[in-house]
Amino acid sequence: MGQGQVPAQQIGHVGAAEINHTSRVVADVVRNNHLPQKIFMVHQFRREMVVNIQDVRGRRGLAMVQHVDGFGTRSQKLATYHRVAEPRQFRMGFKLFYDEDTRMFRPREALGIRPRISFVSYQ
């Protein structure tokens, strides 16, 4: 968020450089402490939310997941997913809302979406 912007009133953005810095810090913690792989999520529901997404680097020790959501009908959610999905770069994630989605996807249905989803979250 920019200075003076209010969360939930404006939609923020982040650049690849900031994501890369953060993922490097997390990957260093994983490596230095001999930890198992961790999920590193890049949450997105509009293309402009992640500036230069093509420059986001994968990191050893991190499962890089692009976590996509959107409100509304199934077709609206799928349109958002297909608009922002970068499956060659990330493992794909999909967010489902118990009280915001219309006819929420069942787990088997969500796992049938292409590009293939590896991570489903519920809120």
Span 43-53, pLDDT tens digits:
999 999 999 99
Q: Residue 86: its pLDDT value, please?
A: 97
Ordered by start, the domain boundaries in the chain are 14-122
- What's the first-to-final CA gap in the chain, in angstroms? 22
Global model pTM greater than 0.85: yes
Span 33-44, pLDDT tens digits:
999 999 999 999
> Higher confidence at residue 107 or residue 1?
107
